[in-house]
Every structure is written in C-alpha cells, then in structure tokens.
C-alpha cells in the first residue's frame, strides 16, 4: 500500500472469524463503509489512518471482543467531529498517536475519545492538540504515559484545554505508574481556567515522573503530591530554555511554592527522589531543601545534571549537602546526565 491512497478494503476482512492480528499501517485513507464489523478472534490491531471517518472509528475498535493490544495513529485534520469508541472487555494495552495540522482555522474540540476497558493495564496517549477524553472503568490500570499538546491553547482556548486535561486525568486515577510529559505539564498550568480546577486524587500511585518545560512553573507539583498519598518514587525532569525562548522572553520563574501542609506521601511513603537537569538555581535549591527537610522516610536523592563546569557542580552539591535531612538514612548522589 502507498501512503494517502484511497483503498476499498473487502468487507469480508472486517467479519473474518479466524483473524488474530491485523495491521493497517500505510496512512490509509479508507473509503470502505463498514456496515458490519465483527472480529471475534482478533487480539492485536495496529491502525494508521489519514482523515478517519466515524464509520470506522465508532465501529471497528469495539467489535473485537478478545482484543488485547490496540495501537491507533491518526491525522485528525477534518471538518467532521470524530469519535473514537474503544469499548473492549479484554483490552490490556492501548496507545493513541494523534496529530493535527491546522491550516484553515479548524478547531478540533469536537473530537472525542471514549474508552471503556476494565482490564486495561497500559495506556499511552500522544496527542498534540488534546481531544476530549472520556475514560471509563479503567480499574486495572498499571501504567500511563500522557503527552497531550499545548500547541493550540491560544487557538482552542484555555478553558476548553483546562476542562479536557481535567477529564483525562480524572479517568486514570487508579494508575500506579504515571508519566506526564512536557506538553502535558504545559497544559496543566492552565488548569485554573477549568470549571473544576482541583486535581483528582491518585490513591494507588506509587511512581510519578514529570517533565516540566522551562517557561512554565512547578506550581501544580504540591497538588500532585497531596493527591498521591502512597507515592514512593518521584522523578522531576526540568527542560531548560533554548536560545529562541530566551530571546522571546518565554522563560518564567520556577515558581515552587511550599504546600501549607506536608503531603502524606512525604511523611510516610516517599523513599526516592530523582531530579534531572537541575543546575543549582535558587528555586531548584528551595525545592530540594523542602523535600530533604520534610521527607521523613526518604532513602535516596539522585541528582543528574549536565553542561555544568566542575566548580558549578561542586557548588551545587555542596549547598545540597548542607540542608537538614528529616530522614537519617537519606543518601545524596550527584552524577552527570549523558
């Protein structure tokens, strides 16, 4: 198959009773009308579509009763509001890779992702414009990787983006291992504009990894900590500004504000803190000081940095070593990040 080809697939393909694995990976533009879809033995489905229509997105993914692994890649540039309906009782791994290219003032807030998957264990969302997510019954979720875009905040509107990131987070509250990528954290910064701007609780979360872009603050970090009482490992990665960002005055304050009350996880659960690309700035030191002074069961602080001179590294490490530690067993390790 060649990319962007209009191909009429045989209708029999979508009612095959013996099919176990199906891959449509050529950026297919499918003009086949799916009047009937039933794939009773399909376990692995990999679909890559350009400009998908509701005929396929609402029928295909919920007509595979034993489907365990689903990968969906789609270019969402369409004037039609698209609904992905993924209701699967056996689905264990789900990955979305959604892209949009606005050329004619298109606003894609009508696109919706509906997922009902009671045994889903792994969820990966890579969505550069942030559709509307309705995630239901994800009671078995173990790991989630969320990279949803802030590219079109100004186009779509801050309130719409804020409401949609809240709905997405609210649907994954049972997760144990959570990664929020750079773009996601950039969207979370506008959560104040949401109708309900309180972050949901994550009672099962034990491992949290955050990538925070330079130009946005860590102001929501205390809320995440308060909402994760069983958090044992926290990884904080800071992205530093490019020359273009510095020239455009896009660099804002680090903006770490101590919570009024010490989060439960710091008092009894948090054992490992890893910080990446910290350079010893005052606000970074303020954050590290807070964790060391309040992490009563903290066992290890790992500091990874790069692009620092030997003197800068030593000054950074020396300042951290001077902070009081609430945990007598806490070890501090400093190393270069390759």
Predicted TM-score (pTM) of the model is 0.90
pLDDT at 2: 44
The residue behind tokens 């809320």 is: 223
Assigned domain for 282 exists: yes
Quick one: 218 and 137 in the same domain?
no
Quick one: 209 and 188 in the same domain?
no
Q: Is the pLDDT of residue 150 over 90?
A: no
Q: Is the pLDDT of residue 289 over 80?
A: yes
Q: Is the pLDDT of residue 29 over 80?
A: no
pLDDT at 232: 99
- Work out the average pLDDT over 185-205: 75
pLDDT at 245: 46
Quick one: 26 and 159 in the same domain?
yes
pLDDT at 130: 81
Quick one: 126 and 236 in the same domain?
no
Q: Is the pLDDT of residue 120 over 70?
A: yes
Quick one: 134 and 224 in the same domain?
no
**β-sheet with 83-87: strand ranges across:** 83-87, 112-116, 132-136
Q: Which of 183, 200, 217 is the last residue of a domain?
A: 200
pLDDT at 95: 98
Quick one: 166 and 273 in the same domain?
no
Q: Output 192 or 187, whichever has higher pLDDT.
A: 187
Quick one: 19 and 139 in the same domain?
yes
Assigned domain for 245 exists: no
pLDDT at 281: 87
pLDDT at 248: 44
pLDDT in tens, 227-279: 999 999 999 998 765 544 444 444 445 567 788 899 999 999 999 999 999 88
Quick one: 39 and 160 in the same domain?
yes
Assigned domain for 7 exists: no
Quick one: 183 and 52 in the same domain?
yes
Q: Which of 74-88, 108-122, 262-276 has the highest mean pLDDT?
A: 262-276
pLDDT at 191: 64
Assigned domain for 288 exists: yes
Q: What is the 3-class SS of the chain, one letter each residue?
A: CCCCCEECCCHHHHHCCCCCEEEEEEEEEECCCCCCCCCCCCCEEEEEEECCCHHHHCCHHHCCCCCCEEEEEEECCCCCCCEEEEECCCCCEEEEEEECCCCCCCCCCCCEEEEECCCCCEEEEEECCCCEEEEECCCCCCEEEEEECCCCHHHHCHHHHHHHHHHHHHCCCCCCEEEECHHHHHHHCCHHHCCCCCCCCCCCCCEEEEEEECCCCCCCHHHHHHCCCCCCEEEEEEECCCHHHHHCCCCCCCCCCCCCCCCHHHHHCCCEEEEECCCCCHHHHHHHHHHHHHCCCCCEEEEEECCCCHHHHHHHHHHHHCCCCCCCCCEEEEEECC
- Work out the average pLDDT over 40-54: 89
Quick one: 271 and 172 in the same domain?
no
Assigned domain for 2 exists: no
pLDDT at 196: 60
Domain total in the chain: 2
- Work out the average pLDDT over 101-108: 54
Quick one: 190 and 212 in the same domain?
no
pLDDT at 249: 45
Assigned domain for 51 exists: yes
Assigned domain for 167 exists: yes
Assigned domain for 248 exists: no
pLDDT at 33: 56
**214 lies in which domain range?**
202-240+256-337
Considering the chain, what is the average pLDDT of its residues? 84
Q: Output 283 or 287, whichever has higher pLDDT.
A: 287
Lowest mean pLDDT among 1-5, 20-24, 144-148: 1-5
Distance between CA atoms of 44 and 113, rounded to whole angstroms? 19
Quick one: 30 and 45 in the same domain?
yes
């Amino acid at each position: 198959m060649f990319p962007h080809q209009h191909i009429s697939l045989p209708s029999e393909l979508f009612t095959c009773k013996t099919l176990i694995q199906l891959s449509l990976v050529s950026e297919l533009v499918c003009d086949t009308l799916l009047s009937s879809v039933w794939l009773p033995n399909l376990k692995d489905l990999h679909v890559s579509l350009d400009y998908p229509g509701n005929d396929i997105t609402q029928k295909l993914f919920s007509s595979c009763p034993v489907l365990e692994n689903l990968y969906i890649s789609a270019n969402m540039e369409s004037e039609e509001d698209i609904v992905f309906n993924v209701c699967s009782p056996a689905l264990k791994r789900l990955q979305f890779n959604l892209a949009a290219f606005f050329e004619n003032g298109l606003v894609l807030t009508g696109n919706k992702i509906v997922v009902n998957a009671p045994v889903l264990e792994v969820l990966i969302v890579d969505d550069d414009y942030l559709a509307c997510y309705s995630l239901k019954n994800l009671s078995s979720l173990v790991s989630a990787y969320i990279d949803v875009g802030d590219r079109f905040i100004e186009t779509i509107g801050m309130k719409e983006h804020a409401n949609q990131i809240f709905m997405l987070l609210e649907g994954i509250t049972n997760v144990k291992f959570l990664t929020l990528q750079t773009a996601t954290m950039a969207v979370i910064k506008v959560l104040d504009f949401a109708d309900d701007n309180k972050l949901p609780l994550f009672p099962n979360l034990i491992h949290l990894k955050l990538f925070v872009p330079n130009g946005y603050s860590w102001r929501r970090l205390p809320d995440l900590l308060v909402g994760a009482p069983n958090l044992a490992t926290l990884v904080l990665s800071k992205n530093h500004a490019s020359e273009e960002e510095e020239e455009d005055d896009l660099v804002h304050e680090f903006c770490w504000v101590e919570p009024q009350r010490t989060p439960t996880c710091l008092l009894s659960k948090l054992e490992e803190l890893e910080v990446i690309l910290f350079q010893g700035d005052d606000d970074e030191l303020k954050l590290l000081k807070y964790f060391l002074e309040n992490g009563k069961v903290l066992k290890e602080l790992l500091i990874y940095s790069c692009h620092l001179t030997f003197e800068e590294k030593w000054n950074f490490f020396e300042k951290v070593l001077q902070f009081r530690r609430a945990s007598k067993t806490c070890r501090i390790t400093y190393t270069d990040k390759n």
